[in-house]
A and B are shown apart, each in its own frame.
Chain A
Amino acid sequence: MSEELSASDVVVLPGLEAVRRNPWMYIGSVGEDGPRRLLREAIDNSLDEALAGACTRVSVRLDGERAAVEDDGRGIPTEIHPESGVSACEVVLTRLHAGTKFERAPGRWRAGLHGVGLSCVNALSRELRVEIFRGGQAFAQDYARGRPLGALARVGATARRGTTVSFRPDPEIFRDFRGFDAAAAREALAELALLLPGVEFSLEAGGAREIFSGAEGLEGLLARASAGERALTDSPVRVSLGGGELALEARLSWTTGRDFAAKSFVNCVPTPLGGTHLAALRAGAARAVNEMMAETGAAAPGEESFGVDEAADGLRAALDLRLARPHFEGQTKSRLTSADAFAPIAAAVREQTLAYFRADPAAASVVAARVRAARRERLAVGRALERVYFLRARTGIDERVYKEQFGARSRNWHDSAKWITDRELLDAHAAMCEMPAGARALDVCCGSGVVGAAFRGRVASVQGLDLTPEMIALARTRLDEVRQGNVYDLPFPDASFDLVCTREVLHLLPGPERPVAEIFRVLKPGGQFIVGQILPYSADDAPWMFRVFKKKQPLIFNMFQEEDFRRLLTGAGFRPPAARELRVWESIDVWIDSYETTPLHRREIRRLYREAPAEARAVHPFEIAADGTIRDLWRWVVFSARKPG
């Protein structure tokens, strides 16, 4: 049974002025994630009541730029705060670090931002109204940009209990805010319902009211973590750990998916960047897999043990951790850093996963086969990386490396990055065409043929050339004719084409001078070469971008900058090129979800974005959303170079 809150339960730490001055320090972003963060803080305030067992209902109303969060908890204390001389409610709404969560009562889990939450919402709202129903009385108070417009006033008698906070984010802070995103709120409330099945979560938006069912519990969260993938076993591993200051419920399932993914929460707050709890879960699962494989004979005696990446490849997890004193990286709590949580979680996951395998030999056998497949893939990628260093600019390239990699990627080529089919980008290449309608064009390293196909209607025919049989099959559906061949030695006579196009290829080729010379050779005098390339914004972001791109794609040999690329073209005999620059947002999460990028490299790429150096950030725009997803505004330059007539 929850205890009643009183004004003396509210502890005050000073200072709120800094929030409006540096809002991103408190809520992470003043972009589209900012108002979402405010809504989440208001919800977390109610969650604290739910986690304390003091409320049964949390409802959210969205109405354009306004949001309201209502609960039936104990109500924020309304009495005069003994140290401040104003109501405890006003203290909670106007002072940073004011809140009952600093009480640290053992066994209590708290969701809000260590008391920063509601005061941040208030500081960053153009207007905010709090209504409190407590002790048979209703109270209300209004604020504007964090300042009270009057004292907390008693407005009548009531049988209700709880708190309603309604607010409108300040357009002076959130300049691009045009209204709350119901989809994001729906996602958050649906997940909370699964974490707290005893509490009713609802959303009113666009004239409709939805109540979210928590009946599936953690299994429902696991289904969300593995959406679109097939579970390899009939039932998930269930892990439970109860204790004074740490409680854990987790579900684990090996799937047909790639890499490791999880829905993880600490005190019901999502931790999209993971941290200690997920590291422990992966480590515990890996230990259980290794022990199972040794016990069942699935691993040969003396065989190298399976690493975390191998054991957790395809593993999906839902994890609900309650911690009395969690420590996080950053104010928005997206990554748990509590080192003490590692050992108990790893031990519980190891022990209970091993018990699961022992009780279900069929499941153990399927997981053993999955883990072995992950090892085979890792070894194949390793071999490709080794072979890269046998390539020599002067002696040509090892075609097998490219065929293996692009053959594998052809299975989902168009879904493997946004840029591949981006219409504006394709049109930008085609728009550079200066050739007459009767011209013959060649798309070199054509992939699926989308670039060449963009020139249809501008030239008479488009031929394609690629090394990879799987890509050639795709390109044949778009181009007039497609041949297999190597760009270092084009299988065409001199002066065969009026136009040659290619895109995002030359950086993958050692000694790019030779393929450019080949392109020059097969062009007719006066012919045109159109080539698109992602380039750094300047020398200042280039080393950082080099690391990101090289980790994504080990076949990168050249991090061109604009002057290098111009020199490459003029060095082959082309006239100084014209260029058009355009910027295209790319989903980094989609882009790095590919065969050639190892799980370690995916993790390192995400870290490179989180810790990008100031000199790169100053010139290169990218965004990291509250859920950890990353998008990058890539700088594309499309060059057009003419062969002298």
Chain B
Amino acid sequence: MEVRYVSNSLEDTKKLALMIGKNLFRGSVISLNGDLGAGKTTFTQSLALSLGIEDKVSSPTFNILKCYFDGSMPFYHIDAYRLEDGTNANIGLEEVIEGDGVCVIEWGQFIKEMVFEPLDIQIKILDNNSREFVITSNFSKYDVIMEDLKEICR
């Protein structure tokens, strides 16, 4: 199943993130992909907000994993970019991916075998302020999210 959503503003992106966020559950995995500046971090911030997380969410490019525990459930944010060569990939990330909260993974292709049954979100840059979100689900556990999204997507 696949839906597409065009965002013309930050507000639009927030609306989408809230719509997805309200249906997330413990064990949800979101694989987030998009070019530099596409808005992966912005989207993740809104997603975190929907779980009641007030801590500032910033990209874990250096840290690889950041954990947020002040929301309705644990929120894990992984940036696997620095694991590209695979040498340092074995650091127990699978414990938070298949864990007790929501996990958002950027550059998941570098730790493919650990990204467990994800909801795929691809962000494409259309122009300065517009983005297209392509949301793909191959797992029935995300059906509620996908059904809800049909209301605002095409």
Partners in one complex: no
A binding-site residues for B, Cβ under 8 Å: none
